[in-house]
Amino acid sequence: AQSVTQLDSQVPVFEEAPVELRCNYSSSVSVYLFWYVQYPNQGLQLLLKYLSGSTLVKGINGFEAEFNKSQTSFHLRKPSVHISDTAEYFCAVIWVTGFQKLVFGTGTRLLVSP
């Protein structure tokens, strides 16, 4: 079955420290990969996406992610976080065998403290 795993339910970090949020998915067939951010009482906002090409993808707000096909991973990183980055982060995958259904992980709550 197609699944997306975010092992860390919560990641606490101090402001200006680097952070990595991990994401693994279940199959190495052709995929599109995404990271979304959700602020309280708001909808999902796309941070970045990988469709093809360079495996290092840069997104908004200084985030980047690297696609590793052999490890079926798409970890999200930021070199220096801000208080305003406190939010829920979701990794999502489209398996390119059908239409554009997103399969989401369970999310990682990033808590940035001063």
Partner 1 sequence: GAGVSQSPRYKVAKRGQDVALRCDPISGHVSLFWYQQALGQGPEFLTYFQNEAQLDKSGLPSDRFFAERPEGSVSTLKIQRTQQEDSAVYLCASSTGLDYNEQFFGPGTRLTVL
Q: Which residues lie near partner 1 (CB under 8 A)?
A: 4, 6, 32, 36, 41-46, 49, 51, 90, 92, 94, 96, 98-107
By beta-carbon proximity to partner 1, the closer residue of 19 and 92 is: 92
CB of 100 to partner 1, least distance (A): 6
Q: Is 111 exposed, middle or buried (0-12, 13-18, 19+ CB in 10 A)?
A: middle
- What is the Cα–Cα distance from 19 to 109, expressed in whole angstroms? 12
By beta-carbon proximity to partner 1, the closer residue of 36 and 74 is: 36
By beta-carbon proximity to partner 1, the closer residue of 45 and 80 is: 45
- What is the Cα–Cα distance from 45 to 109, expressed in whole angstroms? 15
CB of 47 to partner 1, least distance (A): 11
CB of 54 to partner 1, least distance (A): 17
Rounded-to-5 percentages of helix, strand, coil across the chain = 5, 50, 45
